[in-house]
Each structure stands twice: as C-alpha cells, then as structure tokens.
Amino acid sequence: MMEGRAAEAVRWGERAARADAAPAAVRHRAQGMLAIARVVAGQGPQGLAGLAFLPAAPSEVPREDTDTLVYRGLARNWTEDFTGAVADLTAAAARLRAGVPLRDAGPCLGYLAGAEYRLGSWDDAVVHAELAVAVYTKATAH
C-alpha cells in the first residue's frame, strides 16, 4: 500500500483477515489494516464495513482491540470523518497514557493531531503533534 499498490494491499489484507488459525486480536488488526487499504484503494467510507464488529463507542472497544481502534481512526481520518477519527484516536491515546501498548502510537497521535486541526481544535492538535514527534524521536533513537 505504501508503494501505491492499494489493490494488491486489499488482496493481501483479505487473505490475512481470513486467517482462521490466528488469534482474534491478530485477525482484528488485519481487518483494521484491510479497512485502511480499502479506503486508500478508493472505497471511501464503505471500506470500513469490515470493522462493524467493533463497538460504535470507542470506550467500549475491548482493550485487546486497541490497535484495531487506531486503524479505524486512521481510516475515518482518510474518509474525512474527522469527528469519528478524533473519538477513536482520543480513546486509543488515553489507553496509551494508561500503559496499554500500541503498535502504531506515533500514527495514532499524529493523525489525532491532524483531525483535531481540521476540526479547529488547534491547542489539542499542538499537544498531540508534539507527543507524536516525541514518540517518533524516541523510536528512532534506539
């Protein structure tokens, strides 16, 4: 997907999401990444249909699906559902602060800042952008 091959990413994502032998959390993350690939491939908000298993309220998403919550937030951001993106990514960022590990903490915070900026929440956007930079800086220092 990062190389501009969204259709291929969708095909591989569909394979990963169907991996019945994988634990549920792994399949759910695959479905989250598939949603992103579908959105990038031009499916718009319909690309998120595979995430219907997640509760609508971000606070009700199980802890083990926090990474998938991040992916839903990213996909919502790319479909210009900035309110939904902020809700998902704010909940994930709160879990990060509480010690829940995230695979994609930097993108969570960075895209949260972007969605907040687009909604006019500039002070919050600055805070989350600075946190994203700190996460990326720490990750590259190792």
| Domain spans of the chain, in order of start | 6-141
Q: Which residues have CB under 8 Å from 87's CB, separation 6+?
A: 58, 73
Task: Pick the closest to residue 6 from 40, 31, 34 (CA basis).
Answer: 40
H or E stretch including 92?
Answer: helix 82-97
Q: What is the pLDDT of residues 19-47, one digit of tens each?
A: 777 788 888 999 999 999 999 999 999 99
List, for residues 111-121, the tens digit of each pLDDT value: 999 999 999 99
Percent of the chain with pLDDT over 90: 75
HEC sequence for 47-71: HHHHHCCCCCCHHHCCHHHHHHHHH
What is the number of alpha carbons within 13 Å of residue 139 lying toward its C-beta? 12
Alpha-carbon 36 to chain mean position = 8
CATH of 6-141, one of 1.25.40, 2.40.10, 1.10.1060, 1.20.81: 1.25.40
Q: For residue 142, what pLDDT is reported? A: 60
- pLDDT of 2 reads 74
pLDDT in tens, 89-141: 999 999 999 999 999 999 999 999 999 999 999 999 999 999 999 988 877 77
Average pLDDT, the chain: 91
